[in-house]
Structure 1
Amino acid sequence: MKIPKTKKGLKTKMKLLAAAEKVFGEKGYSDSSVSQITRKARVAMGTFYIYYDSKSEIFVDLVKKLNHDLRKAISISVTGLSTRKEIEITGFKSFFEFLKKHKSLYRIVRQAEFVDPELFQWYYNEISKGYAEGLSVAMDRGEVRRMDPELLSFELMGVADFIGMKYILWDDKLNDEMIDQVMDFILHGLLVHAENSKSLPHNGDEISHRIGNQNIPSQ
């Protein structure tokens, strides 16, 4: 991959990446070609090879750009916020807004698992890295319960990932009330009253034992 030396060159490279996002998103990696990308970008085939050596190289660059742009969008949206509650609410909303503008994100990133498995892992680990750092700071300030920050970051990323998949990519009906419910769950948990958790067993074997001893009616 070559780094553009002029503003015009950078603009051309951005056109190629924007075209690649559309082509890979619509056709998938295997059924896409360099010629399709250049036609979509309205540049000559030779121009493509000024910046990239192959289809796989622009795919890798695109995944990294989407990752960077997503993290930047979230970072900008939470700049100046002081509490973890504000950061979580605003960060989730920023992710959903980014996804609305880049609906091909899911398909492109998931293809990376087969095109370049290391890139696929890098994509999620890179997002988790900054997220976990912020959560760790919030734990030190007493805003978030002490737990493994990396694990917690992936738990929260999983919530955002699947909500976005279902209600933006598939159904396209995510609204403020639904986001409020998601955030209410994240901020307050699953149980109706915190004290109820005291009566719940904390050992998986104990739970299995109780279930196994229940009288299950015959069919």
Structure 2
Amino acid sequence: MPKQKAIPSAETDPRTFKQPPKKARLTRGEKSQQTYRNLMDAAAKIVGETGYAATSIAKVTEAAGVAHGTFYNYFKDRQALFDVLLPYVGEQMTDQITEDLADAGNGIEREIARFRAYCDYLKSTPGFYRVLYEAEVFAPAAHEAHIQRLSDGYHRALKRAMDAGHLRRMSDDELAATVAILLGARAYVAMQHKNTGKVPESAVQAYADLMRHGLFL
């Protein structure tokens, strides 16, 4: 009995089979940007785990998967890396918080959601606390720039709430002081729970009650 000829399937028939689309090659600029992000992400992870003092160029390049000499295509020295590290991770933090606030509503509920989003970010990125607070010593200019950017952004957010009628009217000086108080609350709550990397729900509720009802009777 003659052997039957196999019928090609859609997967094997050269007339119908389509090669998967090739991934577009990265441009030189895109490769450079990716390498920069790899170095920054590696530095953030190492500093978050061991601190600035223990972070070497060799450790960063090894974690980033690049040659040691590649580092100097992006940074003059280790200090140059430290001087941009906190602004880099700080922007990631604010971007994540902004994304979490997409459906947060307005007024006091938005403020409480902002605090909760910050606590959630600390839980998912526990190394951020060390990157932030050690920067005051190891990268003071970066620390000052980060705090200023946070303060300016918070000031604009509360000004919008004020203009929308969700926040009582106050002078610019009083608003600046309020921003400092709220940022201080976030900082010290984070400090209290830095070893666990998790801010408990009770802390969020305490913040919410303070926002809704004030402190004194």
Range of TM-score over shorter length:
0.7 to 0.9
Partner residue, 1:52: 75
Retained in 2: the 8 A contact 1:133–1:149? Answer: no
Residue type of the partner of 1:153? V
Retained in 1: the 8 A contact 2:189–2:203? Answer: no
1:27 aligns with 2:50: yes
Residue deviations 1:154-191 (CA, integer Å, cap 9, x gap): 11111111112213x22445333431222111221112
Partner residue, 1:40: 63
How big is the shift at 1:92? 0.9
1:170 aligns with 2:195: yes
Partner residue, 2:87: 64
Which is greater in Rg? 2
Partner residue, 2:206: 181
Q: Greater relative contact order (Cα 8 A, min sep 6): structure 1 or 2?
A: 2
Match of 1:127 among 150, 173, 180: 150
Q: Which moved more, 1:75-84 or 1:9-18?
A: 75-84
Partner residue, 1:150: 176
**TM-score, normalisation: structure 1:** 0.77
**TM-score, normalisation: structure 2:** 0.78
How big is the shift at 1:56? 1.2
Partner residue, 1:200: none
2: CA distance between counterparts of 1:93 and 1:171?
A: 16
Retained in 2: the 8 A contact 1:84–1:138? Answer: yes
Q: SS of the residue aligned with 1:170?
A: coil
How big is the shift at 1:24? 1.8
Gaps of 5+ in 1: 193-219
Q: SS of the residue aligned with 2:94?
A: helix
Going from structure 1 to structure 2, the CA distance change for 1:80 and 1:27 (only over 3 Å counts) comes to closer
2: CA distance between counterparts of 1:121 and 1:166?
A: 22
List structure 1 runs of 4+ shifted beyond 6 angstroms. Answer: none
Q: SS of the residue aligned with 2:53?
A: coil
- Give the CA RMSD over aligned residues: 2.0
Residue deviations 1:126-165 (CA, integer Å, cap 9, x gap): 1010111111222233322233222111111111111122
Partner residue, 2:187: 161
How big is the shift at 1:89? 1.6
Going from structure 1 to structure 2, the CA distance change for 1:191 and 1:166 (only over 3 Å counts) comes to same
Residue type of the partner of 2:185? V
Partner residue, 1:99: 122
How big is the shift at 1:82? 4.0
Residue type of the partner of 2:158? L
Residue type of the partner of 2:124? K
2: CA distance between counterparts of 1:5 and 1:86?
A: 45
1: CA distance between counterparts of 2:69 and 2:214?
A: 55
- Residues paired across the two proteins, number: 188
Retained in 2: the 8 A contact 1:63–1:109? Answer: yes
1:15 aligns with 2:20: no
